[in-house]
Structure 1
Amino acid sequence: MRKSVYIAALFGLAYLLVQTPELFEQAPDSAPQASSTEQVSEAYAQQQSKVQVRGQGVVIKLLPDDTKGSRHQKFILRLSDGHTLLVAHNIDLAPRINDLRVKDYVGFMGEYEWNPQGGVLHWTHHDPAGRHPGGWLSHNGKTYQ
């Protein structure tokens, strides 16, 4: 009887992890902020750039790395309100997310730059010079900064 309870608990935890991975995402501590949907949607509507945003989204498309100049891993996230966001993650300054797949959840902190297609998220890494707020990406419980 005890063994079946443990097995049922393990399956329950596994189900939660697969269905709601955002509950298990770990990211660096920082002050509470508005949701990603509110921040990004507001910055997009007002055509703002250089806005520090934090949130999460689901990967809907993986793009080839940009290898001109500083190398960037690129992919598109869909936020909870349907807004899409291009992520340009500098892999010269932060580790690449090698196991990233479509439908994965990714947490983020970085700088939003407006464009007509929905905007770009960059500065998802530390600033070696210490002049810019550090950003990060989180995926499957690991933080990339």
Structure 2
Amino acid sequence: MKIRYIPALIILFLVLPAVLLRFYPDRLAQDQAAVDLSIEQAFAGKISEVTVSGSGVVLAVLSDDLKDSRHQRFIVRLDSKLTLLIVHNIDLAPRIDTLRVGDIVTFRGEYVWNAQGGLLHWTHHDPAGRRDHGWISHAGRLYQ
């Protein structure tokens, strides 16, 4: 392979995952769910601080938590009937202004166990680069 193609290949491998995540987040969530611990397994095992992916129907849109770093809060019901409180940091990622009860969201973030089904946070990029990047997909738009 000629040396002049190496920069193009490096750019391709750096840009391709971002492009795929932007245009196919739902598909990537399904593929990643097979690798990650499932939310149901984490709940059953009372396991916290694990990266999970999934999707659910919005049951309730709660008021924003404006204390310290601001978070948008909403509850989703998974296909397994578990409920999950999602706390989405709106200081680091855009707020989902169009979110309504009944909407479907796909997500990736860090799961924290609780008896009500669990909490999901880190649904955004990590500015320090120490964690997996999380995201929420809603109505064809990616929030990270």
TM-score (norm 1): 0.77
Going from structure 1 to structure 2, the CA distance change for 1:138 and 1:31 (only over 3 Å counts) comes to closer
Residues 38, 52 of structure 2: 8 Å contact kept: yes
Deviations 1:83-116 (A, max 9, x none): 1000000000000000000000000000000011
Q: CA deviation at 1:33?
A: 2.9
Tell me the equivalent position of 1:135: 134
The two structures have a TM-score, normalised by structure 2, of 0.77
Paired residue for 2:77? 78
Q: Which amino acid aligns with 2:60?
A: K
**Residue in 1 that maps onto 2:66:** 67
2:64 match: secondary structure: strand
Distance in 1 (alpha carbons) for counterparts of 2:139 and 2:55: 12
Residues 41 and 30 of structure 1: CA distance in aligned 2, closer, same or farther (over 3 Å): closer
CA distance in 2: counterparts of 1:115 and 1:57, whole angstroms: 18
Residues 1:50 and 2:49 are matched in the alignment? yes
Q: Tell me if structure 2 keeps the 8 A contact 1:86–1:119.
A: yes
Mark the runs of 5 or more structure 2 residues left unpaired by the alignment.
1-22
Shift of 1:72: 0.3
What is the aligned-residue identity percentage? Answer: 56
Query: Does the CA-based 8 Å contact 2:89-2:122 persist in structure 1?
Result: yes
- In 1, Cα distance between equivalents of 2:49 and 2:131: 11
Change (3 A) 1:30 1:79: closer
Give structure 1 regions of 4+ aligned residues with deviation exceeding 3 angstroms. Answer: 28-31
* Relative contact order, higher structure (CA 8 A, sep 6+): 1
What SS class does the counterpart of residue 108 from structure 1 fall into?
Answer: strand
Give 3-state SS (helix, strand or coil) of 1:65's partner.
Answer: coil
8 A contact 2:29–2:53 mirrored in 1: no
Quote the Cα distance in structure 2 between the aligned partners of 1:97 and 1:30.
19
- Alpha-carbon offset, residue 34 of structure 1: 3.2
The count of residues paired between Structure 1 and Structure 2 equals 119
Residue 26 of structure 1: CA displacement?
A: 3.6
Partners of 2:63 and 2:32 lie apart in 1 by 31
d(CA) in 2 for partners of 1:84, 1:92: 25
